[in-house]
């Protein structure tokens, strides 16, 4: 299924490259919401490379508001964006938001708007109703990245998702109504046991962030438990899952407490839906259990490879991250808006789209991952070239569709790494 989708996407990008013969550079002064649409010559066939329409993408600036100022995810995303700059005629500028202060975030967005950006990509859903009002007043378009915009979706849908200035968001993993992380964790555990049939893991515990902040993690934990229960119905060697302990297992954005290990004395592995590299592993090292306990978790901060799989003390047995190339989704939609065009199948309202992730659960997977743009922070290793991204836009490729743009988000798996 994934291979077929990748072949389809590649075919669409190739068709776009053949159809577009020239890309010009335009100029815009500040915000471009009122500028003319990207100009094309009419009356040519989409597949006629000899008389293809000439395209003039507007020169523009897009601000990117990250949740932190550095780290592999941030650094690799910046490297990817900068590689696109010349071909897309876009200048990127960056800022950092807070996770708790709505007023501070609004100020950051106002500063971007004052600097004459044409669009903004935002990784936080905090104070979004005020932020979208500022964007609407200034004629600046906004898209989301690495965020499910769940608060806005459930409490301010009309103000945000129905706004013509909000283009939608590429989620960091699954939408709250499309959760699969529990099944992914279960699959990784079973694959580990198959590789280690002489010493399988038969007792696990879990860790999550608070449900009010990350409801999908509780859903994922419930999904994992359900998968284990179904497995145990016919398994020769059943697996025990400790129920979540509100005091020790729900991490209030603070590191795991050492009392966790006493409460889960029989556990052989921690299934951490919370960011285990930052919030679980350091406590394991502190307590001296990193050689005896396994960790299946989300995220990758750098350095995990030294103790992954059969390497080092083998603590990490699964990591899971979203490819930086997923920012292509809001970027293309912003560029379409800035250039005054849209896809023929563009939905009337903005959407939040689940993103496939790199599930790294074997030595072979880690070797692949170490070749990725995420790990190397090198855009030469990205899944898409600048020309590929141009060909995903409605103004750069007459054959481009919204369905194909969404399709790239479901194709970014460990097997798609070049």
Binning pLDDT at 50, 70 and 90, where does residue 27 land?
very low
Tally Cβ neighbours within 10 Å of residue 325.
Answer: 27
- For the chain, the residue count is 418
**Lowest-confidence region among 2-16, 20-34, 150-164:** 20-34
Helix (H, G, I), strand (E, B) or coil at 114: helix
Q: Is the pLDDT of residue 7 over 60?
A: no
CA distances from 63 to 36, 92, 143, 315, 399 (A): 21, 6, 10, 38, 28
Structural element, H or E, at residue 63: strand 60-66
Q: What are 337's two structure tokens? A: 């808006």
Helix ranges restricted to H, 44-101: 72-88
Q: What mean pLDDT is reported for the chain?
A: 89
Phi, psi of 170, rounded to the nearest 5 degrees: -95, 115
Please state which CATH class domain 181-321 belongs to: alpha beta
What integer pLDDT is reported at residue 55 of this predicted model? Answer: 62
For range 162-189, the mean pLDDT: 96
Q: Is the pLDDT of residue 48 over 90?
A: no
pLDDT digits (tens, 9 = 90+) for 60-89: 999 999 999 999 999 999 999 999 999 999
C-alpha closest to that of 379 among 5, 82, 161: 82
Binning pLDDT at 50, 70 and 90, where does residue 270 land?
very high
The dihedral through the CA atoms of 262, 267, 271, 277 has a sign that is positive
Q: Do 321 and 151 contact (CB within 8 A), yes or no? A: no
Q: Is the pLDDT of residue 43 over 90?
A: no
CA distances from 309 to 70, 97, 268, 304 (A): 26, 35, 15, 10
What integer pLDDT is reported at residue 56 of this predicted model? Answer: 64
The single-letter DSSP state of residue 142 is E
Q: What b-and-e string marks burial along 246-278, b requiring 16 or more CB atoms within 10 Å of the CB?
A: eebbbbeeeebeeebbeebeebbbbbbbbbbbe
**Domain extents for the chain?**
2-173+323-357+381-416, 181-321
C-alpha closest to that of 106 among 87, 128, 86: 128
Task: Give the whole-angstrom CA distance, residue 32 versus residue 140.
Answer: 8
Q: Is the pLDDT of residue 111 over 70?
A: yes
Percent of the chain surpassing pLDDT 90: 83
What is the pTM (predicted TM-score) of this model?
0.86
Task: Give the whole-angstrom CA distance, residue 325 versus residue 373.
Answer: 8
pLDDT digits (tens, 9 = 90+) for 176-211: 889 999 999 999 999 999 999 999 999 999 999 998
Q: What are 241's two structure tokens? A: 């899952």
Token look-up 């490729």 returns: 397
pLDDT digits (tens, 9 = 90+) for 349-408: 999 999 999 999 999 999 999 999 999 999 999 999 999 999 999 999 999 999 999 999
Give the orientation angle of helix 402-409 with respect to helix 328-338, to 10 degrees. Answer: 160
Token look-up 């959407």 returns: 351
Strands 119-122 and 141-145: parallel
Q: Which residues face 66 on adjacent strands? A: 96
The single-letter DSSP state of residue 56 is E
For range 158-169, the mean pLDDT: 98
The dotted CATH code for 2-173+323-357+381-416 is 3.40.50.2300
Q: Is the pLDDT of residue 309 over 80?
A: yes
Asked if the domains 2-173+323-357+381-416 and 181-321 are classified in one and the same CATH topology, the answer is yes
For range 224-235, the mean pLDDT: 98
For range 322-338, the mean pLDDT: 98
Task: Give the whole-angstrom CA distance, residue 379 versus residue 232.
Answer: 44
Helix (H, G, I), strand (E, B) or coil at 93: strand
Q: What is the dihedral of CA 74, 394, 17, 357, to 10 degrees?
A: 30
For range 143-167, the mean pLDDT: 97
More reliable by pLDDT, 388 or 17: 388
What integer pLDDT is reported at residue 311 of this predicted model? Answer: 98
pLDDT digits (tens, 9 = 90+) for 211-228: 888 888 999 999 999 999
What does the H/E/C string look like for 16-39? HHHHCCEEEECCCCCCCCCCCCCC
CA distances from 406 to 133, 209, 391 (A): 27, 28, 14
For range 135-141, the mean pLDDT: 98
DSSP 248-311: TTB--SSPPPTHHHHHTTT-SEEEEEEEHHHHTHHHHHHHT-TTTSEEEEE---SSGGGGBTTS
Residue 404 burial by Cβ neighbours in a 10 Å radius (0-12, 13-18, 19+): buried
More reliable by pLDDT, 42 or 85: 85
């Amino acid at each position: 299924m994934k291979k077929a989708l990748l072949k389809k996407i590649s075919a669409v990008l190739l068709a776009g490259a053949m159809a577009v013969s020239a890309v010009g550079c335009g100029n815009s002064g500040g915000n471009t919401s009122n500028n003319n649409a990207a100009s094309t010559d009419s009356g040519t066939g989409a597949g006629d490379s000899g008389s293809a329409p000439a395209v003039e993408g507007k020169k523009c600036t897009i601000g990117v508001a990250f949740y932190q100022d550095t780290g592999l995810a941030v650094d690799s995303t910046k490297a990817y964006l900068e590689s696109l700059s010349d071909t897309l005629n876009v200048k990127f500028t960056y800022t950092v938001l807070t996770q708790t202060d709505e007023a501070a975030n609004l100020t950051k967005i106002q500063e971007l708007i004052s600097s004459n950006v044409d669009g903004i990509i935002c990784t936080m859903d905090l104070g979004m109703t005020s932020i979208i009002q500022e964007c609407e007043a200034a004629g600046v378009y906004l898209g989301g990245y690495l965020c499910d915009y769940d608060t806005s979706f459930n409490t301010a849908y009309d103000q945000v998702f129905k706004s013509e200035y909000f283009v939608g968001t590429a989620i960091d993993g699954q939408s709250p109504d499309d959760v699969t992380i529990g099944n992914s964790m279960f699959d990784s555990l079973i694959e580990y046991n198959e590789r280690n049939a002489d010493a399988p893991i038969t007792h696990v515990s879990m860790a999550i962030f608070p449900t009010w902040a990350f409801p999908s993690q509780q859903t994922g934990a419930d999904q994992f438990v359900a998968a284990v229960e179904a497995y145990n119905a016919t398994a020769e060697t059943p697996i025990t899952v400790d129920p979540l302990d509100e005091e020790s297992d729900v991490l209030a954005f603070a590191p795991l407490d050492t009392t966790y290990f006493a409460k889960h004395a029989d556990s052989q592995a921690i299934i951490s839906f919370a960011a285990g590299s930052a919030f679980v592993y350091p406590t394991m090292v502190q307590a001296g259990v990193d050689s005896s306990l396994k960790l299946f978790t989300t995220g990758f901060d750098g350095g995990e490879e030294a103790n992954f799989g059969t390497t080092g003390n083998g603590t990490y047995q699964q990591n899971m991250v979203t490819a930086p190339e997923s920012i292509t989704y809001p970027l293309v939609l912003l560029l379409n808006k800035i250039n005054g065009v849209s896809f023929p199948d563009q939905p009337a309202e903005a959407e939040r789209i689940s993103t496939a992730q790199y599930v790294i659960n074997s030595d072979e997977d880690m070797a692949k991952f170490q070749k990725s743009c995420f790990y190397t922070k090198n855009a030469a290793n990205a899944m898409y070239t600048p020309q590929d991204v141009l060909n995903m836009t409605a103004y750069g490729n007459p054959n481009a569709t919204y369905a194909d743009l969404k399709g790239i988000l479901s194709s970014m798996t460990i097997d798609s790494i070049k």
